Structures are given as C-alpha cells and as structure tokens.
Structure 1
Amino acid sequence: MDVKKVLVGLFLVGVLGIAVVASGCIGGQQTATPTTVTQKETVTETKPVEQITLKVIGPWSGAELDAFMEVIKAFEAQHPNIKVEYKTYRAEDLSTILPLQFESGDTPADVIAMWGWFIAEMGQKGHLMEFNGVINPDEYVPGILDTVTADGKIYGVPFTAAAKPGFWYRKSFFEKYGLKPPETWDEFVALLEKIKQIPGVKAPIVSGDSVGWPLSDVTEHFILTFGGKDLQLKLINGEVKWEDPQVRSIFEQRLVPLLKAGYFSDPIEWTSAVDLWWKGD
C-alpha cells in the first residue's frame, strides 16, 4: 500500500503546514479477512489485510480539536484498516524536541503539524517525505506552498488557513450602543474613545497573551496595514531591522498613542479573553 498517497486523503479533507516524517513510526499487524473465489466449487481463502496505526501530532485542542476529529473520522471511514492516534503538542515545544529526535532516527509521530519554515528546514535535512508527484500544486492558492518548499521539493501541505490579522467585534454590542465599524484611521480612534466611555468597559481592545503570538498578531496588523506586505516580509527575512525608521514610525504614530490612551487592556491569557469577549464581559 502506498501510505504516502493514503495520507494525502487525511490532509486534503480540511495556513498550518503538515509534514509526513520519513523515519515515521507507522505500525501494523496482519489480520485475516475472508474472500470468496469461484472455481469448480466455491471455496474460502484468507487474504491478509494490514492494520496500520497512524500517529498524528497537531496543536489543536478544545473546539478546534473537535473539528479536526471529524476529519480523522472521515479518513478512518475511507480507510478502515488505518487507526489514527492524535496527540496535542505546542509547536513551540516541538521546535526544540523534534530536531534531536530526527537526528537520532526517532520521531513521536508519522504526521506532524508545524510551521512552514520548520518543515522546509527539516525536509532539506532529509527527515521528511516529499510530496512532489503526490499533490498537484496548481490546485492550491498561488504561493501557499512556498514556505514548505525547498530546492524545488515540496515537504508539506496546508491544513488550516486563517484570516488574520485584524480586530474582531461583537455585532450585538455594536447594535446595542449604536456603533459602526470604522472605515478610516480617524474613525477607528474615535470608535475606541466611544467604547472606552461606555460604563463597564475596562478597555476597548483586549490584549491576548501567554503564548506570545496573540500580541505579535496585533503588531503584524499595524505593520501590514501601514507598512505593506513588502516591509513585513523584509522584517521576517532579516532585511530590515526593528529600529528601521519606517518600522519605528508605525509604532510611534499608531501603536504607542493607542497604548497611552488606554485603549488596550492589560495582557490576559488569550483563550480566557476570547471566552470573556464572547460572553460580553
């Protein structure tokens, strides 16, 4: 059985990259399944069917995990001889664990969800399977496979994509207080001031924290909006420093004034912040 092609079925039912580990830990056992063959008389033969346990690691938990489990159920229904075992690990933790395990020829799973750049790096070192010839790049959004591609070889596929960065707001809250989504910077600042004056509101914008990326998303939002994607990419690639005048001006003219005006809350663990926001607290 071409395990590699079967695995793609799991990926494409659902941008987080997923890679298949070359030194994986797929396990299997032989079971007997009866089949009927017609000759001069009807006889019963047994043909071995390999039972496989596929170990998968991803970052999902809670509602996100519930959604991912539906994908696993659909995959197992299509491939009854494959049992999927899922474990949750943070990418931040895996980034220090996996390189050492890969170098020793060991791995905690067969399919692992990680950052695109990490997948490409591990692929270049020979630790991951290639997807060239297995998937059709033309079926994907242009550029989405770039981060998991190195030297023309594709080492991962996207499973999830997110529309970010930006600000979420509760429609019911806006309707209750007669607020409208802003279309300009001045309208945005004026909106924040209106929200701040509403009794019971501690701060117009909640600051998610605990794992690092929620606050970096806010920073990226301002850089992309006022500096453009080219500036963002140059920062990522190290071609522009954070001290660069263009970057500093975005902080000084946009972010810092909002912080001084008290429009951002004190940092709070981001999942707790989402729960409070959803409940209207």
Structure 2
Amino acid sequence: MNKKMVFMLVSLLVLMSVLAGCGSSNSTAESNGSKANQSTNTSGENKSEAEPFEVVLRHIHIRDTAKQTLAILQDAVKATEADVPGLKISLDGVEDAVNRDVKLKAEMAAGNQPPIFSLFGGADTENYSKAGRLLPLNDILTELGIQDSFFDLREFTVDGKIYGLPESGYIEGFFYNKKLFEQVGASVPATWDELVDAMEKLKAGGITPIAMGAGSGDGWVINMLANSMFVALGGPELQEGFATGAAKWTDPAVVEAFKRIEFLVQHQYIDPNVLGLKFPQGQANFYTGKAAMLFDGSWAVNAITGESSTVKDDAGFFRFPDVGGKGDGYINGGWSNGYGFSAAVNERELQAVKAFIKNFFSMENQKRTLVETSQIASMKGITDIQGANDLIKTIGEAQGSAKGAFPAFDSVVQPQVKVALETNMQQLLGGKVTPEQAAENMQKVQDEANAASN
C-alpha cells in the first residue's frame, strides 16, 4: 500500500471516530420478537418453501451515473435469490426525491410499503418507526454477526432500535476544475474572501463559477450549499436547535447565510439558469467543463470521473471555506441514505430480508462501493483500497483535516421544514423573497411543525 493510500485510509478513520460518537451499533435494543429470532436457514426442502414468491425492492439508482451502484445491488439480489428457494426479487427504480417525498410517504401513510426500500435516516426513520412501519434490525444484525460492523447507525436508530442500514457514506463540498482555476490565476480558497476572489476571476474570464441545477423538484440541491453556509456561520448546534426551539431560522447566522446565497445569485456566480436546470443537468455542466465548481456530495465522484466526463483528470475537491463563524472547519458528512425494511413482512419475506442484508452488506461490496462507485463505505474493515481513484482519496484527505462533521439539516428537522427550505431557497434564487422574508417563512413552518410534535 503506497503512502497516498495509507493517508486516505487514516483520514477516513479519523472522521469515522468523530462521527461514531456513542456508537449506535453497540446499543442493546429490545427484542424484535419471534420474527427476528427465526432461523436464517433457507435451505429447507418442503413444498411450501419451494413455492414461488415475490419481494419488491425499491431503489433510487436510476441515473446513468449510478450504473456501477446498481450493478452491485443487482449482484446482491442474484445471490439472495439463490439463497432463498422460490424467491424472485422485483427491482423498482424510482428517482430519489420522488421516492422520499412522494411515493414512500404515501405508502407509509397507507401501510403498504414494499418489503425492502430506500430509506433516509433522521426524521424520516423516526416518523416511520413510531408509526410502526419499520422492522427493527438489532436481533437480525446480531444473528448475522454484523452488529458492530457499521461506522455509524445513529441516523437510523430510534430509542435504541436500529431501523435501517446505510448503503454508503458521504461528505459535501466543492469540486473544482484545476485547469480552469489555473487558466484565470485562481487559488483553492480556504476562506470566504478567497472564494469570492476566485469566483470573480472565473467570471471575468467568461467562465461560470458554480454549476447548479435546482429547478422544479430539485430544490434540495441549493439546500446543500445553504446548509453548509449557516452551519459555518452559526455552528452545528444551530441546526440541532431548530426542532427543539433552542434556535430559530430568524437567528442572525441563518439570515446572513441567506444573504450570501443572494449575493452569489446577484453577482451571477451561480449559473444564471439555475432554476431552469434539473440536478443532473447542473452536475453535467461541471463534468463537461462548462463551469469551474460544483457544490455536491461525494456521490458525484462517479459522474465526475465517469465516461461522459471531460474533467476526470482535472477535478479536485475542497471543503466549504472558513467564514469566521462557529462552524469553521466542520464538514457536512454522515451515513444518511440506505435501506429500510417493512414491519409487515411475513415469514418467507423475512427470510429474504435476512439474506439480502447478508449478501448486500458484505466486505466485498464495501470495497466495490469505494473502488467502483467512489463512494465512502458504511462498514468498517476495508484494509485494501487499491483501485480507488485520486479524487476519492482527496475527499478522504478533506475529511481527515476537518475539525468534525455534522449531518444534513433535514435529518434533524421535520419533513415539512425540509420542503419549506427547498421552496424558499428557490424563491430566493429567483428574487421572489428577501433573505429576511425567507427566514421568517421558515420559522413559521418550524413553529407549526414543533407545535404538532408536542
């Protein structure tokens, strides 16, 4: 293992220890009853076990840039079908925002969710578990011997019970085109003033500084940048206080963050057509060299280094620059997106669930996730990272140099607050509201959500 690889691994482990905190995977939960204690033996030969049955598996890997991730899932599905006599898994691919905000939400309300489905940690997991829709996994993880194998399960843990397993980890920050930066004499910024200087040089050189597509249905894209902005100014504790009332969206740090988003728009540092583009289009404007920067999650590495990319050899990464606030040095990162399982599964479906967890959450797949999809593994134990590309190594270095990490804001607030920020940020991008109005609108929704929670 060469020096860079060692540094990458060490960098990753440094962040993992920060995020792991109390280590939810070590929690002792209540038993999941007779279901979780059933044997995982799927080799029975009686007639009932051999009868065909179907299990729907909802996933979100539908874009061209997710082909490698889908391939890993498909291989795990084949292995699971081979393990369980009569099983046929039907893959149901749905766009991530549609799954989370529309389809799964409606299914959970009706109680007809699929046996296996893409699940977001935090508020989604908490709400669905309290409604009795999610299958507790503690006993299953123990049965399979992987109860201590995950870096961090806090976002999928409610009252000591684990209700979901993260597919991979992420961090968010700026990807940048080294060639375009060099072309205009811009340096990698470590502070807000340096970022503004770089953007001004890029704009003067006829280059769009920041690529972004946050049009209809994709308001969450601008939320990533806004989230890092208000945490940098107010500290991680700011967003942790929204749902408890300890902090408000009208607090100075949030209003200032909204003002800086407005500043980026007014100076055309963000693509002027931001509201006319979908997320994949904005992302493509970066990896085809039409813009110099992209604020995105580490999941974007696969697209940036993929076949369609013209910048695969020129792309770098840096964390959100310091702004002189309480959150300087922190980075948005965690393990928020993965798979959940229906509490309504029958005996044979439970066999399929156990076999899927065994086959999908394996060391082999974790290494494939890192090397083939350039995403951060969710499980401990990878010692060989040969084959990982240089960009994902740079991201690991950014993680390792960070003071700490904070989760995405929508894992600590109610779902309606997440949707409200998407709407208000789109309106801010379009000049329909002022930063102060956006903050007031947000606090009104937050107050209503908090009142409904009490």
**Conservation of the 8 A alpha-carbon contact between 2:212 and 2:270:** yes
Alignment of 1:1-281 (within 5 A): 49=50, 51-62=52-63, 63-77=65-79, 79-80=81-82, 81=85, 82-89=87-94, 90=98, 91-102=100-111, 106-107=112-113, 109-116=114-121, 117-135=123-141, 136-141=146-151, 144-164=152-172, 166-199=173-206, 201=207, 203-210=208-215, 211-235=218-242, 237-252=244-259, 254-266=260-272, 267=274, 268-281=277-290
Residue identity opposite 2:270 in structure 1: F
CA distance in structure 1 between the aligned counterparts of 2:203 and 2:178, rounded to whole angstroms: 17
Deviation of 1:204 (Å): 1.1
Residue identity opposite 1:71 in structure 2: L
- Structure number having the greater helix percentage: 2
Closer/same/farther in 2, CA of residues 242 and 163 from structure 1, 3 Å limit = same
**Conservation of the 8 A alpha-carbon contact between 2:55 and 2:90:** yes
* Unpaired runs of at least 5, structure 2: 1-43, 291-454
**Conservation of the 8 A alpha-carbon contact between 1:119 and 1:148:** yes
Deviation of 1:52 (Å): 4.3
Q: Which has the larger radius of gyration?
A: 1
Q: Could you say which structure has the greater relative contact order, defined with CA pairs below 8 angstroms and 6 or more residues apart?
A: 2
Closer/same/farther in 2, CA of residues 236 and 220 from structure 1, 3 Å limit = farther
- Residue-by-residue CA offset, 1:177-197 (whole Å, 9 max, x unaligned): 443211222211110100001
Structure-1-length-normalised TM-score: 0.71
Closer/same/farther in 2, CA of residues 247 and 147 from structure 1, 3 Å limit = same
**Conservation of the 8 A alpha-carbon contact between 1:148 and 1:157:** yes
CA distance in structure 1 between the aligned counterparts of 2:281 and 2:110, rounded to whole angstroms: 33
**Conservation of the 8 A alpha-carbon contact between 2:184 and 2:201:** no
Deviation of 1:70 (Å): 2.2
Closer/same/farther in 2, CA of residues 250 and 118 from structure 1, 3 Å limit = closer
Helix, strand or coil at the partner of 2:55: strand
Residue identity opposite 2:57 in structure 1: V
CA RMSD of aligned residues (A): 3.0
Number of residues of Structure 1 aligned to a counterpart in Structure 2 = 232
Residue identity opposite 1:277 in structure 2: F
1:38 corresponds to which residue?
A: none
Structure-2-length-normalised TM-score: 0.46
**Conservation of the 8 A alpha-carbon contact between 1:208 and 1:270:** yes
- Residue-by-residue CA offset, 1:144-184 (whole Å, 9 max, x unaligned): 322322222211111132211x2221233334444321122
2:25 corresponds to which residue?
A: none
**Conservation of the 8 A alpha-carbon contact between 2:61 and 2:69:** no
Deviation of 1:77 (Å): 2.7
2:32 corresponds to which residue?
A: none
CA distance in structure 2 between the aligned counterparts of 1:130 and 1:271, rounded to whole angstroms: 35
CA distance in structure 2 between the aligned counterparts of 1:269 and 1:46, rounded to whole angstroms: 50
CA distance in structure 2 between the aligned counterparts of 1:265 and 1:227, rounded to whole angstroms: 27
CA distance in structure 1 between the aligned counterparts of 2:69 and 2:76, rounded to whole angstroms: 11
Residue identity opposite 2:136 in structure 1: E
Identity %: 24
CA distance in structure 2 between the aligned counterparts of 1:240 and 1:206, rounded to whole angstroms: 31
* Unpaired runs of at least 5, structure 1: 1-31, 34-44
CA distance in structure 1 between the aligned counterparts of 2:150 and 2:262, rounded to whole angstroms: 39
Closer/same/farther in 2, CA of residues 140 and 77 from structure 1, 3 Å limit = closer
CA distance in structure 2 between the aligned counterparts of 1:280 and 1:236, rounded to whole angstroms: 40
- Structure number having the greater strand percentage: 1
